[in-house]
Amino acid sequence: MEIRAINTSLLEWTGDGLAIGLFEDGGELTGDVTNLDEKLAGSIKELIAEEEFKGKQGSSIATRVDTGSPVRKVIVVGLGKKEDLKLDKIRRAAAAAARLAKKQKCKTLGISLPVWNNDAAQTAQALAEGVELALYQDNRFKSEPDDQGSQVEKVDLLELGGQEGAITRAHQICSGVILARQLVAAPANSVTPITMAETAVAIASEYGLQVKILEREDCEKLGMGAFLGVAQASDLPPKFIHLTYKPEGTPKRKLAIVGKGLTFDSGGLNIKGTGSGVENMKMDMGGAAATLGAAKAIGQLKPDVEVHFISAVTENMISGHAMHPGDILQASNGKTIEVNNTDAEGRLTLADALVFTEKLGVDAIVDLATLTGACVVALGDDIAGLFSPDDALASELEKAAEISGEKIWRLPMEDKYFEGLKSGIADFKNTGPRAGGSITAALFLKQFVKETPWAHLDVAGPIWADKENGYNGSGATGFGVRTLVSWVLSVA
């Protein structure tokens, strides 16, 4: 599929499907759409009336127009209330248009939607992202592709000529999102610590990043007892991934992104039972997937910032040499941890990853992790939890998430709750009471970051979608990549 930005107006464009937007304000047509409707002998007004179309965000309708007309079908997408127009609504409207165009067997699609905030570049980028992310289909594990029918081949963003750069940027970012989706969607017998490391090496060689894979012995030398404790029951070798993007010259800032990378989480001896969603625990490397996806995008966007991408990758399995519940591990900062629950494994792997990362001397660290079911209970499937002792960093991330249309919500790091992690025998336990479980998890991580501004995103909910929504299909969403990229670009 090719996306172009062109100067043609909706009155001049010719092709299979022409998509226009309608606000939720009584369904009045305005400006060029009125003229287009006249040109098409009133068929747009007729369609809207017939379908009782209200312009609700996410809704879309289509109609065939007279043969002999320069367009075959008109697609109308709802934009919601005019005063609530946000960049993400434009992105979602483009996604709805692309989906309907495909269903209507349009090979070419013209999109004419309002420019957000007088910002043609951001608008073009959002439109292109919406189209590309909505049309992506994962057929890797099908013997016959699901969608053999007609495909959208060419998309024109109307009256946005000159925004080729924005389309290229969108494509680079989407390539990172799609990589993250593919890594998360692939089962644990396909994406393993070994293939995750191979993916990191491939990104490094394709986009000129530096890469270092630490093997088990390297991690032992660094004293990463927490990470290795989790890894010890797996038949697969753990891999500690460290990718570095370095711009030319002196970078403005040095940042680090750390992702939880459990290619499968069985729970360990505190095994996950039926009803726990264990069959979907291939997605427990969603943080690492977003980290690699961001690396792939940043490697192409080449901002003036040094970025480190880190993940301690392993499986949480069961065998004769599995951790016993109650075992005591020592992390690389010397802290001892009583593992009172082997299913709280993500924080153990992140502990050593965070200690390693802080030693790099970066200006800020952001970690992403499918860390707790408690965060899903608190915020549901669409919203990630944001935890940070640093207000400035938290607000940078909130802004980046807003631009990207990914939802995050800050939760408190209530120091008093750390009492729940008190241990009689070690420095602390890895699990506290059920109540406030995502907060104690964040407080646990905080023990491994001394002074660097740090934020933690619990992405257990939004990394996966049970049903299609906006530009996300059902399944892996690639959540986090676009927020991370926006954040890195915002400080560049």
Residues that bind ligand BES (CB under 6 A): 265, 277, 284, 341, 343-346, 370-374, 376, 431, 437, 460
Q: Cβ closer to ligand BES: 60 or 349? A: 349
For the segment 342-371, give every residue that binds Mg ion (CB under 5 A).
Answer: 343, 345
Q: Which residue is nearest to ligand BES (CB)?
A: 373
Closest CA to 99 of 369, 472, 352, 488: 472
Helix locations, 136-192, DSSP H: 164-185
Q: Of 72, 347, 429, 482, which residue is the catalytic one?
A: 347
- Report the SS3 class of residue 2: strand
Q: Cβ closer to Zn ion: 225 or 286? A: 286
Min dist. Cβ of residue 97 to ligand BES (A):
32
Residue type, 280: N
Min dist. Cβ of residue 378 to ligand BES (A):
11
**Contact predicate 78/55, CB 8 Å:** yes
Residue 16 and residue 18: Cα distance in Å, rounded?
Answer: 7
Q: Cβ closer to ligand BES: 8 or 440? A: 440
Q: Choose among Zn ion, ligand BES, Mg ion, none what residue 460 binds, the Cβ cut-off being 5 to 8 Å by kind.
A: ligand BES
What is the C-alpha R_g of the chain?
A: 24
Residue type, 170: A
Helix locations, 277-426, DSSP H: 286-301, 346-358, 373-379, 391-404
**Contact predicate 213/197, CB 8 Å:** yes
Residue 9 and residue 328: Cα distance in Å, rounded?
Answer: 67
Q: Which residue is nearest to Mg ion (CB)?
A: 343
Structure tokens at 24: 């939720």
Min dist. Cβ of residue 430 to Zn ion (A):
12
Q: Cβ closer to ligand BES: 75 or 439? A: 439
Q: Choose among Mg ion, Zn ion, ligand BES, none what residue 431 binds, the Cβ cut-off being 5 to 8 Å by kind.
A: ligand BES
Residues β-bridged to residue 383: 407
For the segment 259-298, give every residue that binds Mg ion (CB under 5 A).
Answer: 265
Q: Cβ closer to ligand BES: 232 or 452? A: 232
Q: Cβ closer to ligand BES: 122 or 232? A: 232
Min dist. Cβ of residue 167 to Zn ion (A):
37
Q: What phi and psi, each to the nearest 5 degrees, are found at residue 306?
A: -85, 130
Interacting residue ranges for Zn ion, rule: CB under 5 A: 262, 265, 284, 346
Structure tokens at 74: 């008109």
Min dist. Cβ of residue 434 to ligand BES (A):
8
Closest CA to 386 of 405, 366, 369, 409: 409
Residue 279 and residue 273: Cα distance in Å, rounded?
Answer: 10
Q: Of 56, 154, 272, 410, which residue is the catalytic one?
A: 272
92 is catalytic: no
272 is catalytic: yes
Q: Cβ closer to ligand BES: 130 or 420? A: 420
Residue 136 and residue 144: Cα distance in Å, rounded?
Answer: 16
| Residue 315 engages Mg ion in binding (rule: CB under 5 A) | no
Would you mind telling me the total number of residues written for the chain in this entry? 492
DSSP classification of residue 114: P
Structure tokens at 108: 């070419």
Q: What phi and psi, each to the nearest 5 degrees, are found at residue 266?
A: -80, -15
Min dist. Cβ of residue 271 to Mg ion (A):
10
**Contact predicate 22/175, CB 8 Å:** no
| Residue 16 engages Mg ion in binding (rule: CB under 5 A) | no
**Contact predicate 299/488, CB 8 Å:** no
Beta-carbon contacts of residue 450 (< 8 Å; ≥ 6 apart)? 358
Number of helices followed by number of strands (H, E) in the chain: 14, 20
Q: Cβ closer to ligand BES: 104 or 342? A: 342
**Which pairing describes strands 407-410 and 475-476: parallel, antiparallel, or unpaired?**
unpaired
**32, 65, 320 from 9: Cα distances, Å:** 9, 18, 68
Q: Cβ closer to ligand BES: 187 or 373? A: 373
Min dist. Cβ of residue 373 to Zn ion (A):
9
Total residues binding Mg ion (CB under 5 A): 3
Min dist. Cβ of residue 437 to ligand BES (A):
5
| 142 alpha-carbon distance from chain centroid | 24
**Contact predicate 317/189, CB 8 Å:** no
Min dist. Cβ of residue 317 to Mg ion (A):
11
Catalytic residues: 272, 347
Note the residues at the interface with Mg ion (CB under 5 A): 265, 343, 345
